Chain A
Amino acid sequence: MTDTTAKNKTGALILRSLLNGWSWLFLIGILVFFEAYARIQTGDTFLLRLYSIQSIAIAASQILLLALGLTLVIVAGHIDLSIGFTTGLSAVVMALIIRLIGADAGWFAVIGGIAVGLFAAMVVGLVNGWLVAILNVPSFIGTLGTYGIARGMALIVAGGATVSIRSEEARSIGNGDILGVPVPVLIAGLLALACHYVLQHTKFGVHTYALGANRASVERAGVDVKRHLIQLFVISALTAGVGGLIYTGRFSAGAANAGEPILLYAVAAVFIGGASLTGGQGTVIGTVIGAFIIAVIQFGLVFSGLPPYWQFVAVGLVIIVAVLVDQSRDRLLQGAGP
């Protein structure tokens, strides 16, 4: 091997790692920024206190619950916009069922609420899957439709109001902690682990990547693509549904718009994490980093006393950076060789 090709190879390797690892660097960068800002302004630490870490982790887990299933859908080359209101629907349904059974029934009522709430979410997922896989409706349009339907249904069953409950058990799901780890964070963490396993280590995951790259490749390999798509949309609806259940626990109330403010952040987290609109790319670990980047920006601005509206600007800028990195990947790496 000549000297120049060796140099080219290391160059390409560094470039590749930078392009793939920029979100890690970015996360570290904003943590350093807020830490420095806090020390200069207040002489106090930003990150090294339990409250900060818990708040960031909870904010990230809210985003994650919508973003986890969505990651799988986006890797397959589709999108699921309905999750914002799938979250709301499952939140409202859980609260209603607890009311119906009576909070006195304790865990019985809560588990009933969880089961029916998840069932409602699953129905939305099945409808999405049916639209996209069987009727060949583009997922952007199809799930925009179910976004409206889930929203309407959530408002209708809730009677247009917030459904409050008084259940200690539900509260403990939303606000409790195990060894200092908030329960919502624990649940999001376990689901992230499960989704990572599915996407990286199972046949289902490989087929999801292949589907995103080239539908013919999996079809020819004998995979039932329609069934696979339906399963993906059900997974997406279920993780969003879990987000709704935790919302109801956290606030002792189910609200139809529980997931609405998080929807765009969830989509952003997936793309910041390295997914591509054309499909075939993206990882659960990337999405976790993306969710943490957004959570740090949100909490950091509040903590620093900066106007919180900057979070919209900051997250918007990060999304654009993510897209630019994705677009330049092929061009830059082509020049550098494999």
Chain B
Amino acid sequence: MSALLEARGLKKRFGGNEAVSNVSFVVNAGECVVLAGDNGAGKSTVIKMISGVYTPTEGEVHFDGRLITGRSAEAVRSAGIETIYQDLALADNLDPGLNLYLGRERTRRILGLPFLDRKAMRRDAVDVLKSLGIVVPDPTLPVRDLSGGQRQSIAIARAIHWQAKLVIMDEPTAALGVPEQREVMALIGRLKSQGVGIILISHNLPDIFAAADRIIVLARGVVAGERRPSETNDEEIVRMMMGATL
């Protein structure tokens, strides 16, 4: 069976600084791959090369059997890769429905003029969130009034609603309290069971071991090692993150 995503020899240079060198890995459907590494290791740069924000200096990205290197972020997204950034990129002044549909809003015609169908979008948002086990008290309120975990779930709902095959999450639990971190980890489990592939960026060891099917450790822009959680332990992962090779 061929992999859902395959990154081959990714390299990114910013000016004279090589932020990422020769990074290769695969992600299969229904599998959660954790990209672990210290600050500045190159994790964000790697996922931005996959999501189309950066064009790799060298290397290739294959998704679903197709070469997607160099495609725009929008094209990558419509191919089925949804990225949830650390800042979530929500519009805080809009309700969950509009955030779910932002850029692809539903409209209906009244006397020939297109009008936003806010109600339908809101209804869909409530449904998707319910399927994730999340109840928003009042879906007419702007998302700024929601908790951190609920906001995260709206970003994830967006991925599910648009039927992403691969979801990339950059430190999704970094800004959350402990109960909400658990909620997000449970959401990751549900995504996996639906056959979605996941790349999770994290440097939090409990999260890494709770979520990962495979752990890929980056240090100073290169892959320091790849492990299954069952064949390694906290100590070894930390050692690899600090840059001790293999």
Which A residues form the contact surface with B (CB < 8 A)?
197, 200-203, 205-207, 209-210, 212-214, 216-223, 280-281, 338
Contact = CB atoms under 8 A, between A and B. Distances in A.
Contact of A221 (B103, B116, B137, B141): B103
Contact of A338 (B90, B113, B114, B145): B145
B51 to A, nearest CB: 10
Contacts of A209: 91, 93-94
A218 B102 contact: yes
Size bracket, chain B contacts: 20 to 34
B92 interface: yes
B141 A203 contact: no
A212 B92 CA distance: 10
Interface string B1-14: 00000000000000
A222 B77 contact: yes
A216 B83 CA distance: 13
B137 A214 contact: no
A204 to B, nearest CB: 10
Contacts of B92: 213-214, 280
A241 B138 CA distance: 42
A223 B98 CA distance: 14
A210 B94 contact: yes
Nearest to A220: B89
Of A209, A213, A221, chain B has the most CB atoms within 10 Å of the CB of A221
7 contacts: A200-B116, A201-B113, A205-B116, A209-B93, A221-B104, A280-B92, A280-B93
Contact of A217 (B73, B89, B107, B114): B89
A277 to B, nearest CB: 14
B231 interface: no
A210 B102 contact: yes
Given A216-B87, A222-B77, A202 B116 contact: yes
